[in-house]
Amino acid sequence: MKDPAASSYPVSDISEDEKRKVDGLTFEFGELTADHIVYGLTRAFGGLFHIVWKTIEEVAGEEEAKRISYTMGTRFGAINFTNFLKSRRVDRGTPALMCEFQDKIHSVRGPLHTSARFGWFDDKKCVIVRKRCFYHEWRLEGTGKYHGEFYRGLYDGYRLADPALKRVENSLCLHKGHDSCEHIFIYED
């Protein structure tokens, strides 16, 4: 389903020139809008992941950076999904709850993540597809390998939070060279 709110999402219509002003800090304070701030924060958050991964790689080596990326993903997934399930007063998820969680978390993570809104589910699984991702788009050279480790950890974190979630499949992903990502959260075979 196409996101009907996508065109009204902050930053959805910010021009490339306006993005360059934020990136280069050449805007005038009187020109600064909420769109500029949302774009800047999203860009900073996405870029920070790659700066962290690259720094760890330079200091501790590639294998340690992969391990830390996986651990970051596990914590991020477990904390966010545990909090969501607690807010629903349940200790086990369902495909419907996973879909709600994914739609809502992607709604507040910035304009690149809104492409993953409006996943779908049935009684066995939840499917999320995205064409854009800030973990992928704003990466530094050589950091794509950490994106996959982060997601592997994220999936394990979701499973730690939700004993009903059997597994997550991710055969299509931007970091693997595909033109989209597909995340399938399987609750029953």
pTM score: 0.82
What is the rounded distance in angstroms from the CA atom of residue 41 to the CA atom of residue 7? 19
Which of 23-32, 38-47, 58-67, 77-86 has the least mean pLDDT?
Answer: 38-47
Q: Which two tokens stand for residue 1?
A: 């389903």
Domain count, the chain: 1
How much of the chain exceeds pLDDT 70, in percent?
85
**Assigned domain for 1 exists:** no
Domain membership flag for residue 172 = yes
Query: What backbone phi and psi angles, to 5 degrees, belong to 44?
Result: -65, -45
Return the pLDDT at 11.
62
Query: Which amino acid does the sequence have at 24?
Result: G
Q: Where are the beta strands (DSSP E) in the chain?
A: 120-121, 125-130, 167-172, 181-186
Between residues 119 and 124, which one has the greater pLDDT? Answer: 124
Give every CB contact of residue 65 below 8 A, 6+ residues apart in sequence. 53, 56, 57, 146
The whole-number average pLDDT for the span 5-26 is: 76
Provide the pLDDT for residue 2. 42
What's the CATH code of the domain at 85? 3.30.1380.20
Q: Are 150 and 72 a contacting pair, CB within 8 Å?
A: yes
Give the whole-angstrom CA distance, residue 64 versus residue 25: 34
- Tell me the pLDDT tens digit for each residue of 56-99: 999 999 999 999 999 999 999 999 999 999 999 999 999 999 99
Maximum average pLDDT range among 19-28, 72-81, 116-125: 72-81
Q: How far apart are CA 107 and CA 65, in angstroms?
A: 29
Average pLDDT over residues 127-131: 86
Q: Decide if 86 is inside a domain.
A: yes
- Residue-level pLDDT at 76: 95
**Domain containing residue 108:** 6-186
CA distance 107 to 84: 14
